[in-house]
Amino acid sequence: MNIWFTNPDEILKKTTLVSRFLEYVKIDTEANPESTSFPSTKSQLEFGRKLLADLKALGLSDATMDENGYVFARYPGRVKGPCVGLLAHMDTAPDFTGKDVRPQIHENYGGGILRLKNGVVLNPAEDRHLPQCVGHTLITTDGTTLLGADDKAGVAELFALVEFLNQHPDIPIPPLSIGFTPDEEIGRGADRFDINRFGADIAYTVDIQFPGEINIETFCADTATLTFTGIAIHPGNAKGKMVNALRYAAKILERLPENERPETTDEREGYYNPSHISGNGAQAKLVIFLRDFAKKGLKKRGDFIRKLVSDVLKGEPRLRIHLAIIPRYRNMANVLKKRPEIARKAEESVRRAGLTPVFRPIRGGTDGANLTAKGLPTINLFSGSVNAHGPTEWVSTKAMGYAVCTLLNLLQLWGSDRGQ
């Protein structure tokens, strides 16, 4: 018989969820986008080895780590059902330092402003989730680093799930495959993911977002790289001869629409985001990220850049511009539409935990998007943490408990159709 889990405090009391989370966030696992090694930092391999030992300590004796740092483990099923994959990533974002994280515990949060070091402030007037957590225990940074709850909350929650399942052999779950992945934050988390070794039929990443949130949509993403070749000549006798590559790179930038930038768009609106410019008068390089939720919309954005290039060339035929548009990732919703039960069961599991399901598109890419494209349909479920990638990152311990309740419900829904 299914038992629906609605009480986060039961999880917090019976498992090492919070102490394990506090232990893991203190371990620096920052990803490095400049690195060409895999994983991008050695610290992730060290953390992987630790997670491997910790899984074995919980009785998952067949847990393994491959040479790329992926840690996988199987939990035997108790009833029939597809093998459900649960994933969390080990790395933290390079946007803000993750070294020497000193988590601060605020018990029984009273609803006021929390002041951290370096003038960092958590203000309930500006942070819509804070007022929802009055009375909770909050874990924040000390203001000098990110927290790394993204995604060590997810990692600790998967461990708490295993601990809880070990204590309750009567919970009817199908076979489960647990995975910890490197380099999600730099978009490489799915690159060397061995779907066959993982062995799941469907999967969920457990990564950031407030309790109740489910993400089944990501952007479609392309990268446009423009290389401008001008004509270099001494400025002293440049009249009528010089063609300055930088000026034309600037012309392209100037013509990108004002209202289609990351800073002027939200929800399902796409954008153009110049991410890099370098060079000199003779040659310049400009990189623009193209983002849209629809494939058609993304194609239009590529066409728009092509049109800008041809317009600029018309004005200066001596200039050369090489344009390359490289696909990055695609909105996973297109594939997941064919497997609606994956989202439906996630929604049901959230509701069974006593929470309100919220579907929101992710304005970025995820491991899930890439895994879905590789053949493992994967959506994202909340881990509870908010304000990722910076010093205002925080998480409520109750929110983490809710994430484990939701996973317990989810597994039971896959293990039995009686719950629907």
Q: So which residues are the catalytic ones?
A: 91, 184
Q: Compute the residue count for the chain.
A: 420
Encode the chain in three state secondary structure: CCCCCCCHHHHHHHCCHHHHHHHHHCCCCECCCCCCCCCCCHHHHHHHHHHHHHHHHCCCCCCEECCCCCEEEEECCCCCCCCEEEEEECCECCCCCCCCCCCEEECCCCCCCEECHHHCEECCCCCCCHHHHCCCCEEECCCCCCCCHHHHHHHHHHHHHHHHHHHCCCCCCCCEEEEEECCHHHCCCCCCCCHHHHCCCEEEEECCCCCCEEECCECEEEEEEEEEECECCCHHHCCCCCECHHHHHHHHHHCCCCCCCHHHCCCCCCEEEEEEEEECCCEEEEEEEEEECCHHHHHHHHHHHHHHHHHHHHHCCCCEEEEEEEEEECCCHHHHCCCHHHHHHHHHHHHHCCCCCEECCECCCCHHHHHHHHCCCEEEECCCCECCCCCCCEEEHHHHHHHHHHHHHHHHHHHCHHHC
Q: How far is the CB of 379 from Zn ion (least distance, A)?
A: 14
Cross-strand pairs, 396? 138
Angle between helices 340-352 and 397-415 (to 10 degrees): 130
Distance from first CA to last CA of the chain, Å, rounded? 13
Q: Least distance (Å) from Zn ion to the CB of residue 180?
A: 12
| Smallest distance, Zn ion to C-beta of residue 152, A | 10
Q: Output 54 or 150, the one with its CB closest to Zn ion.
A: 150
Q: Which is nearer to Zn ion, 340 or 364 (CB)?
A: 364
CB nearer to Zn ion: give 150 or 393: 150
Instruction: Please say which residue, 153 or 246, places its beta carbon nearer to Zn ion.
Output: 153
Least distance (Å) between residue 189 CB and Zn ion: 9
The piece of 100-108, 143-151, 389-397, 399-407 that touches Zn ion (CB under 5 A) is: 143-151
For Zn ion, which is the closer residue by CB, 146 or 308? Answer: 146
Count of residues that interact with Zn ion, criterion CB under 5 A:
3
Return the residue of 28, 91, 127, 150 that touches Zn ion, per CB under 5 A.
150
Closer to Zn ion by Cβ: residue 353 or 386: 386
> Residue 389 CB, nearest distance to Zn ion (Å)?
9
Q: Select the span of 33-41, 60-68, 150-158, 403-411 touching Zn ion (CB under 5 A).
A: 150-158
Residue of 30, 37, 329, 46 whose CA lies nearest to 185:
30
Shortest distance in whole angstroms from residue 58 CB to Zn ion: 23
| 393 lines the binding site for Zn ion (CB under 5 A) | no
Smallest distance, Zn ion to C-beta of residue 410, A? 19
Nearer to Zn ion, 218 or 244 (CB): 218
Sole window of 25-33, 151-159, 165-173, 196-204 interacting with Zn ion (rule: CB under 5 A): 151-159
Residue span binding Zn ion (CB under 5 A) among the ranges 134-142, 148-156, 227-235, 251-259: 148-156
Choose the stretch contacting Zn ion; rule: CB under 5 A; options: 144-152, 192-200, 276-284, 325-333.
144-152
What string marks each residue from 199 to 238 as x (binds Zn ion by CB under 5 A) or -? Answer: --------x-------------------------------
Judged by CB under 5 A, the stretch of 43-51, 118-126, 146-154, 192-200 that binds Zn ion is: 146-154
User: Does 151 participate in binding Zn ion (rule CB under 5 A)?
Assistant: yes
| Between 151 and 347, CB nearer to Zn ion | 151
Alpha carbons 338 and 416: distance in angstroms, whole number: 21
Closest separation in Å from C-beta 388 to Zn ion: 6
Interface with Zn ion by CB under 5 A: which residues? 150-151, 207
